[in-house]
Structure 1
Amino acid sequence: MPRLLPLSCGPGWWSPSVPLSLRRTVARTTVFGICISRWLLQPPRRKHQFTGLEREAWHHLTSRFPAVAQGSAQLAEMLSAEELAHLLSADQLNTPSELFVWQCALHWVQHRPAERARHLPVLLAAVRLHHMDRRAFFRQVAKNPLVVADSLCQPAVSAASEFFYRRNAGLARAVEPRLPHQVMFVVGGWTDQGPTTHVETYDTKANEWQQVLVEEEAGPKVYHATAVLGHCIYVIGGFGSDEYYSTCQSFHVVTKTWADLSPMNARRYYLASAVLGNDIYAIGGLDGVRRHRSVEKYNPYDNQWRFVASMNSKRSDAGATEFNGKIYVVGGFDGFECVKSAEVYDPDADQWTFIRPMISRRSGITCVVYHGYIYTAGGYNGSAFLSCCERFNPVTNSWTSGHNMRSRRGNLALGVVNDKIYAIGGSGGNYIMKTVEHFDDSTNEWLPAADLRVARYGTSAIVVEDIPNVLDYVKRKLAVPRVQAREKIGSSSCAATQTDRSHHLNTSDSEDEEV
């Protein structure tokens, strides 16, 4: 790509005479994003003129950093050492690992080693070495020839080495992990006290769970379903202390408010859910007497539930997910036995079709999409709780066995966050689990993660991305977030996702209009 013209970086692009949609599109492009983000380092007399779109360009760079770094030669060509260090040290930098940050810094130096090697200490200081994988640190940082040859790099290397050798907790706290761009919420479930309202959030960067306290509870629930649209979490159906629910409630993670939405047409617990486009689907389940093969979908714009085509089989305690514009439902219990059948829903034809059945019968499961496959793990086969995992290839219509989890668990929650599958809680038969493990297909193994604060099964996990107030949900401060009282649905912010999705853009609009 040719070098940018002066106008590309100048005030002309951000004049109110240029359509906002065009300026926003420009801000989201990699080259212009880099260019405009450079204004963050300029004197205040310039910065105040570009606050709204400048913030958006900065958000583009930090939230999509892996794609920007891997796909843009301009990152190495355009940024100075000071600007790159500013970017790499950002709390908001979305990076798969600190090793990746180091590799980006090293690539920048190696682009022009003769003139840039002297900047290595500044760039190394931007890497959070204490949060790097131990083996990667010693092999790729501490023994790097450029690092070894530069005496100014040694204090940082020595401090990190001391931490890895001694596991000094004080050093670990002194270097904060970056803020996550994805936060996993675990809502409700069955504890040793029965159904719970307890909500926890998981911070992958710190490997910690945090309790989210609410001033007015959404009500204790177990065997419910959850879904997410934008920044709204929807909690659907379930079972309370003595009631089967048809309710639907939403929690807006930005405004931190609950809202009661229109109920489903049928009571459902042990149901599955999936999001397709802007609609939420509630699939199967049990109303306390009958099992359902019926399916209904919720439109947040008009706050209504409507029936769609029913499944071919009754099933409760099944898993469901969306993949390539279709909904897949697998396993469950049909009232007589745990099943291994699976089917797919085509919204254009409004029709369910059987697909290849799973290898193992299982109920008490959920399923997730991960790297082009549909995964399910654990569950109950009618006689034992399972640790086995299998995945479905929609292209070949085939199932293959995966690596077993470390623990047998049924009625667990599954979620994909930070490019890993997490298996959360569950029942081991005569005990409730608080353990969590994660799977990475690059290593093909399940590894332990931090335990839940409260052991539970029959819970549900959901992942929310790019939360503006993420500090309310991760452990970076002493205050525990509290949630405002639930609102009755009028024109709730969660009733229509467009309001939610444009939240941070609306902020930019108001600032931009003041220019």
Structure 2
Amino acid sequence: MATSSSRTLALQRNSWEQNRFMENLMTKIFSFYDEQSLIDVTFKVSNPTALVPAHRLILAAASPYFENFFNGNQGTNPVIEINDIDSDIFEHLITFCYTGQALITVNNVTAMLNAAIILQLDDAITSSVDYLMIHIDEITLQGAYALERETQCEVLRQKIIEYEIQNFMEISRGDEFLNFDVEELQRILESDNLHITREEDAYDAIKRWFNYDVPARQEALPLLIGCLRLPQLNVDFLMKHIQPLPGCELLAFKALSWIREPIARPMINMRFTEPRGSVLQIVMNPKVQQYNKTEDKWEEYGSIKIDYEDYGTILKDENLLFIGGGKSDATLNVVRSWNIRNKTWQNLPGMIQARSSHCVVELNDTIYAIGGFDGNNPLSSVERYTTSDGWKLVKSLIDTRYCARAVILNGKIYIIGGFNDNKLIKSVECYNPDSNTWTSCADMKICHNSPGVAAQAAAHNGHIYVLSRRGAERYDPQQDTWSQICFLEVGPGRMTCVSLNNELWAIGGKSKSTDKSCASVFDEENFCWVERWSLPESEVRNCFVVPESLLSSI
């Protein structure tokens, strides 16, 4: 019998000893399962009939359902009948109890989720929901809604809400949106992370929903209009569109007073006055700069002096990770983490391969380091990092490449352009993490060296955008085709690209009008670039959209 002292002793083991012990233990358990050794329970499952052997202890540890069942009157039977789960799904989930992995597909994800809920396998529920949301284009949002109603699964409900917030512009134009209940729509509109181009877009969505059933929804209209960031709308809009709405006169009056009488703001009771909570931060070694939307200016947020370059950088949770890089004649495998909230550094496990001028991305809570240069030769190797497994090599690229760029779209990684040896290349490859394979895509029309890249499934119609001083183009993965878009005319300087509030932004490069680094936004409707801001006088190395909740006071 385990005692508190034995559990304490186990926790005090050094991590290497503990990891080795757990690895050996799990290897033995897997072998017992594979060899059907020491089996103490067999399930007889229908449709089609099959016998599934297992170990009570493992299943009870994995699921409260099995723990309670085995402690019940029928739990001691050597053969137990299961009638409400298909045999192949049940066997997948028994395997999950041993390995933490299951073969989830588009065809079986619904049955897998239903069965995982019955068996109270929380991790399998999460895996099924994550798979469903990654493959939402195949399953369809309507299918996800129907499954959530059927299962009442809270994990799926939360993921759908996140998806609705991220893809609000597209969803608000669909028929399903017209049947949203008030509470659901209010929850979405209140979000600081709502992905809209401008506050007027949220207003347009409310009006479309309201006009679908005016008599039944008239009472809810002020509640939803009150979720808008009304002071961010201009006076003409407030007077023309908000004030005439039934029940919204007081909301419009408060917003107009807020705008016209700043001194009176402490006495005005309004729920939402600030812009929604996405903040743009740019990394310009040795500084991190942050855009202040209220004052329309850039401010220094922190110092990140690094004495090497050509590293890869990603935003992971509340940290900026700096991965690999080069210093003098040395190529590095180091990984360092800078916490955005408290502005402190931490060293993380180093990569297997030292590399610089490589690509780094995060997909499904896994970090990938792709290609690059080892100091002598371009690389095709790819490795990925998880907190449980550390760095592991995965399938190599088809082509060696460095100074390329990578982007995530629809659950896959696309790596674009760069150099192969000393030659610029147009080639593009796509990585599928489910099959651990790289496939070739259509070549770009232009060669790009360290271009800016961005992708957003909903706002940009499933396109990948690539731009550099050589030109700009976009990729349609459904058609596997590239098309050129209007040229962004900027002078020398590093350039990066980001999707902010459902708009495509080019950050960096010198403005021809001011001779300063600039930020420009792509006006898709008029098919042109519009220069918005001047940037601090430094080279832009990376740009990230950071939730305001992570930021410390400047």
> Structures share a fold, TM > 0.5?
yes
* 1:282 correspondence with 2:375: no
SS in 2 for 1:100: helix
Which residue of structure 2 aligns with residue 128 of structure 1?
229
Task: Show structure 2 runs of 5+ residues with no match.
Answer: 1-119, 127-143, 149-153
SS in 1 for 2:401: coil
Which residue of structure 1 aligns with residue 404 of structure 2?
318
TM-score (norm 2): 0.57
Report 1:24-173 matches (<5 A).
Answer: 64=164, 66=168, 71=176, 90=190, 92=192, 94=194, 96=196, 97-103=198-204, 106=207, 110=211, 127-132=228-233, 138=236, 141-144=238-241, 147-148=243-244, 153=249, 156=252, 160=256
Structure 1 vs Structure 2 CA RMSD: 5.0
- In structure 1, what is the Cα distance between the partners aligned to 2:386 and 2:406? 20
Deviation by residue 1:14-50 (Cα, 9 ceiling, x = unmatched): xxxxx9979x99xxx999x9xxxxxxxxxxxxxxxxx
Percentage of identical aligned residues: 22
Distance 1:172 1:369, change over 3 A: farther
Report the more deviating stretch, 357-366 or 328-337: 328-337
- In structure 2, what is the Cα distance between the partners aligned to 1:329 and 1:290? 21
Which residue of structure 2 aligns with residue 511 of structure 1?
none
8 Å Cα contact 1:88-1:126 kept in structure 2: no
SS in 2 for 1:142: helix
Report 1:203-352 matches (<5 A).
Answer: 209-213=298-302, 217=304, 219-239=306-326, 244-253=331-340, 257-287=344-374, 289-302=375-388, 304-347=390-433, 350-352=436-438
Quote how far apart the aligned CAs of 1:123 are. Answer: 6.5
- In structure 2, what is the Cα distance between the partners aligned to 1:336 and 1:446? 32
Of the candidates 515, 521, 532, which is equivalent to residue 438 of structure 1?
521
Quote how far apart the aligned CAs of 1:358 are. Answer: 1.4
Quote how far apart the aligned CAs of 1:116 are. Answer: 7.5
- In structure 1, what is the Cα distance between the partners aligned to 2:191 and 2:482? 41
- In structure 2, what is the Cα distance between the partners aligned to 1:30 and 1:354? 34
| Residue-pair matches, total | 402
Deviation by residue 1:242-293 (Cα, 9 ceiling, x = unmatched): 8643211223445654321122233322222233434322222234x42322
Which residue of structure 2 aligns with residue 420 of structure 1?
503
The one-letter code of the counterpart of 2:407 is T
Which residue of structure 2 aligns with residue 507 of structure 1?
none
* 1:355 correspondence with 2:441: yes
Deviation by residue 1:217-247 (Cα, 9 ceiling, x = unmatched): 4624543212344444322123458864321
Of the candidates 178, 193, 211, which is equivalent to residue 275 of structure 2?
178
8 Å Cα contact 1:315-1:334 kept in structure 2: yes
Quote how far apart the aligned CAs of 1:122 are. Answer: 7.7
Which residue of structure 2 aligns with residue 461 of structure 1?
543
- In structure 2, what is the Cα distance between the partners aligned to 1:113 and 1:61? 25
Deviation by residue 1:56-97 (Cα, 9 ceiling, x = unmatched): 999986994548877456766x56xxx99x869957372513
Distance 1:261 1:230, change over 3 A: same
SS in 1 for 2:352: coil
- In structure 2, what is the Cα distance between the partners aligned to 1:391 and 1:72? 29
- In structure 1, what is the Cα distance between the partners aligned to 2:145 and 2:297? 32
SS in 2 for 1:290: coil
SS in 1 for 2:310: coil
- In structure 1, what is the Cα distance between the partners aligned to 2:360 and 2:231? 39
SS in 2 for 1:362: coil
- In structure 1, what is the Cα distance between the partners aligned to 2:160 and 2:438? 39
User: Which structure would you say has the larger RCO, counting Cα contacts within 8 Å and 6 or more residues apart?
Assistant: 1
Quote how far apart the aligned CAs of 1:390 are. Answer: 0.8
SS in 2 for 1:143: helix
Which residue of structure 2 aligns with residue 42 of structure 1?
none
Distance 1:359 1:72, change over 3 A: closer
* 1:377 correspondence with 2:459: no
Quote how far apart the aligned CAs of 1:376 are. Answer: 0.7
- CA radius of gyration, larger in: 2
Distance 1:89 1:299, change over 3 A: closer
Distance 1:268 1:440, change over 3 A: farther
Distance 1:471 1:227, change over 3 A: closer
- In structure 1, what is the Cα distance between the partners aligned to 2:158 and 2:411? 31
8 Å Cα contact 1:148-1:154 kept in structure 2: no
- In structure 1, what is the Cα distance between the partners aligned to 2:158 and 2:430? 40
Distance 1:437 1:206, change over 3 A: farther
Quote how far apart the aligned CAs of 1:359 are. Answer: 0.9
8 Å Cα contact 1:341-1:356 kept in structure 2: yes
8 Å Cα contact 1:392-1:398 kept in structure 2: yes
Quote how far apart the aligned CAs of 1:398 are. Answer: 1.9
Which residue of structure 1 aligns with residue 490 of structure 2?
407
Quote how far apart the aligned CAs of 1:363 are. Answer: 0.7
SS in 2 for 1:314: coil
- In structure 2, what is the Cα distance between the partners aligned to 1:115 and 1:394? 42
